[in-house]
C-alpha cells in the first residue's frame, strides 16, 4: 500500500463519520492527513512510497472539522515488526504526551508544561523537535497560545496560565540526537538535522474542573 492510498482511505473514513478532513488545502497542504514515514517526524505529504511489510514506522496526524469546530490528533504506529529502538522511540512520544496530560492543572503556566515535557523527553535520552509546537484549538485549527515541547526564553514562571474551559493540543515530537528541524524539498516534510527516525503523538484536551480531559480518544 502506498502513502497516497492510506490518505484516500483516511479521507473516506473521516467523511463517512460526518466530518471534514481539515488539513486538506490548509496552508496549501495537498493531502487529507499528514503521513510521516520513518525519518519524517511531522507534516509528511502523501506520496507513492510503498509501505514495507515490516520495519517502517508511520506517523498519522489527523485534523477534522465538524460544524465549525476543529479537532486534532496524531500517533506513530509500527508497520509489522519493528526494532526495539523504534519501539522505544514511539514510546517516548506516547509516554511524554500522557505524562503532560496527567500533570495539567488550572493555574499552571504553559511554559511550565513545556518545561516538563522537555525534561521527560531528555530524561529518556531523546530531544524535542524545536520550532514546531502544540497549540490551542477551537473555531480555527491552530490558535494561540503556542505550546512548545521545550522551554523557550528561560523562565517557566512566565506567560499565560491554564484556565478551565481551555481546549488545546499537546503534541510531543521526538528526535534522537539533534532537535533542529530540516524541511525537505516538498516544502512540508520535516526531519531532524541528525537524519534519524523520529516520532510524534498528539491529543486534543479540554480543561474541565481543573484537569485535562482527552477529547480525541476513540469511543471504540
pLDDT 10s digits, 96-112 = 999 999 999 999 999 99
Separation of CA 58 from chain center: 12
pLDDT of amino acid 218: 66
pTM listed for this prediction = 0.96
The chain-wide mean pLDDT, for the chain, equals 97
Provide the residue range defining the domain that includes 106: 64-214
Answer yes or no: is 220 within a domain.
no
CA dihedral 186, 141, 27, 93 (to 10 degrees): -10
Q: In the numeric block, which cell numbers belong to residue 208?
A: 474541565
Percent of the chain with pLDDT strictly greater than 70:
99
In a domain, 54, yes or no: no
* Rounded Cα gap, residues 137 and 134, in angstroms: 9
Residue 140 lies in a domain: yes
Report pLDDT for 220: 42
Q: What is the CATH number of the domain that holds 141?
A: 3.90.230.10
CB count within 10 Å of CB 214 equals: 14
pLDDT over threshold 90, residue 43: yes
pLDDT tens, 150-162?
999 889 999 999 9
122, part of any domain = yes
Is residue 200 in a domain? yes
Provide the domain count of the chain: 1
Amino acid at each position: 500500500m502506498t502513502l497516497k492510498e492510506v490518505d484516500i482511505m483516511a479521507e473516506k473514513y473521516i467523511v463517512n463519520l460526518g466530518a471534514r478532513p481539515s488539513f486538506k488545502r490548509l496552508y496549501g497542504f495537498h493531502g487529507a492527513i499528514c503521513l510521516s514515514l520513518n525519518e519524517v517526524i511531522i507534516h509528511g505529504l502523501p506520496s507513492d512510497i510503498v509501505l514495507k511489510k515490516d520495519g517502517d514506522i508511520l506517523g498519522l496526524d489527523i485534523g477534522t472539522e465538524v460544524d465549525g469546530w476543529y479537532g486534532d490528533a496524531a500517533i506513530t504506529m509500527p508497520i509489522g515488526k519493528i526494532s526495539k529502538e523504534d519501539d522505544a522511540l514511539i514510546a517516548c512520544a506516547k509516554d511524554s504526551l500522557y505524562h503532560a496530560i496527567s500533570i495539567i492543572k488550572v493555574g499552571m503556566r504553559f511554559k511550565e508544561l513545556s518545561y516538563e515535557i522537555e525534561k521527560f523527553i531528555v530524561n529518556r535520552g531523546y530531544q524535542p523537535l524545536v520550532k514546531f509546537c502544540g497549540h490551542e484549538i477551537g473555531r480555527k485549527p491552530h490558535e494561540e497560545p503556542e505550546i512548545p515541547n521545550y522551554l523557550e526564553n528561560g523562565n517557566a514562571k512566565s506567560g499565560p496560565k491554564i484556565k478551565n474551559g481551555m481546549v488545546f493540543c499537546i503534541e510531543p515530537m521526538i528526535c534522537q540526537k539533534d532537535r533542529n528541524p530540516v524541511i525537505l524539498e516538498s516544502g512540508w516534510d520535516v526531519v531532524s538535522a541528525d537524519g534519524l527516525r523520529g516520532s510524534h503523538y498528539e491529543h486534543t484536551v479540554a480543561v474541565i474542573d481543573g484537569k485535562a480531559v482527552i477529547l480525541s480518544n476513540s469511543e471504540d
